[in-house]
């Protein structure tokens, strides 16, 4: 099985249904896209209210990239998502609770390395677009580990259950993605 099949921008079918684009009026599709994006706008705002003690403890600037990524995740390109994630990593790196104190003098080098890696991956994404999807999927695994660690060490009871919820959502999204890639022909019938 080719790697491209797993990380292509699309499965080759319009929403995994070959006749979808011929059966649906574009206005209906736009309405469906608008309605399904409403939770992406409302849920982050609700989430901000739920984790208010964490925001007050850490600060709102650290939380803002997560909110913007959730709200605008459907509106920006994958390259933009990659750059946003890497910028957040470079900005947030010095305040990770697990980052050793003796290595704080190398933060500048770490940030430069992050920038170089981002530029290299972005360049390869123009040559091989499936690489970007692979990088984003691989990025999600350490992100969940960081979220788990930060939540466990935050000392705020309201946040302790967040990593479990995030893990469940990530697992559901991964299952849907694999299902689309492996069983797309099955879903057609």
Instruction: Give tens-digit pLDDT for 70-107.
Output: 555 544 556 666 776 777 777 766 667 677 788 888 88
Instruction: Give how far Cα 160 sits from Cα of 31, 85, 98, 125, 130, Å.
Output: 37, 23, 17, 37, 35
Work out the percent of the chain whose per-residue pLDDT is above 70. Answer: 50
- Whether residue 117 lies inside any domain: the answer is yes
Q: Annotation-wise, does 30 bind a ligand? A: yes
> Do residues 43 and 170 touch, judged by C-beta distance below 8 A?
no
- The angle, 0 to 180 degrees and rounded to 10, between the axes of the packed helices 78-92 and 60-72 is 170
Q: Annotation-wise, does 10 bind a ligand? A: no
- Whether residue 6 lies inside any domain: the answer is no
- Whether residue 3 lies inside any domain: the answer is no
Supply the pTM of this predicted model.
0.49
Q: Say what the pLDDT of residue 120 is.
A: 84
Q: Annotation-wise, does 66 bind a ligand? A: yes
- Whether residue 32 lies inside any domain: the answer is yes
Kindly state the tokens that stand for 73: 């995740």
> Do residues 47 and 166 touch, judged by C-beta distance below 8 A?
no
Q: What is the pLDDT of residues 106-128, one digit of tens each?
A: 888 888 888 888 888 777 766 76
> Do residues 51 and 162 touch, judged by C-beta distance below 8 A?
yes
- Whether residue 58 lies inside any domain: the answer is yes
Q: Say what the pLDDT of residue 113 is.
A: 87
- Whether residue 7 lies inside any domain: the answer is no
Tell which wins on pLDDT, 151 or 20.
151
Q: What's the structural domain count of the chain?
A: 1
Kindly state the tokens that stand for 13: 């079918």
Q: Say what the pLDDT of residue 24 is.
A: 52
- Whether residue 150 lies inside any domain: the answer is yes
Judged against a pLDDT cut of 60, whether residue 20 lies above it is answered with no
Q: Say what the pLDDT of residue 13 is.
A: 44
Cα atoms in the Cβ-side hemisphere of radius 13 Å centred on 50 = 12
- Whether residue 79 lies inside any domain: the answer is yes
Enclosing domain of residue 37: 12-187
């Amino acid at each position: 099985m080719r790697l491209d099949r797993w990380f292509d921008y699309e499965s080759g079918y319009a929403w995994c249904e070959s006749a979808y684009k011929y059966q649906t009026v574009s206005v209906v599709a736009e309405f469906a896209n608008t309605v399904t994006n409403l939770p992406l706008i409302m849920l982050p705002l609700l989430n901000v209210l739920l984790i208010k003690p964490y925001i007050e403890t850490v600060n709102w600037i650290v939380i803002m990239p997560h909110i913007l990524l959730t709200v605008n995740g459907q509106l920006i390109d994958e390259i933009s998502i990659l750059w946003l994630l890497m910028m957040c990593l470079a900005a947030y790196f010095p305040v990770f609770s697990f980052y050793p104190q003796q290595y704080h003098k190398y933060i500048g080098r770490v940030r430069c390395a992050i920038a170089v890696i981002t530029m290299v991956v972005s360049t390869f994404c123009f040559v091989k677009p499936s690489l970007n999807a692979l990088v984003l999927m691989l990025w999600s695994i350490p992100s969940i580990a960081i979220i788990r660690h930060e939540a466990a060490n935050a000392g705020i009871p309201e946040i302790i259950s967040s990593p479990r919820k995030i893990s469940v959502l990530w697992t559901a999204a991964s299952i849907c993605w694999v299902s689309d890639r492996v069983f797309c022909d099955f879903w057609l019938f």
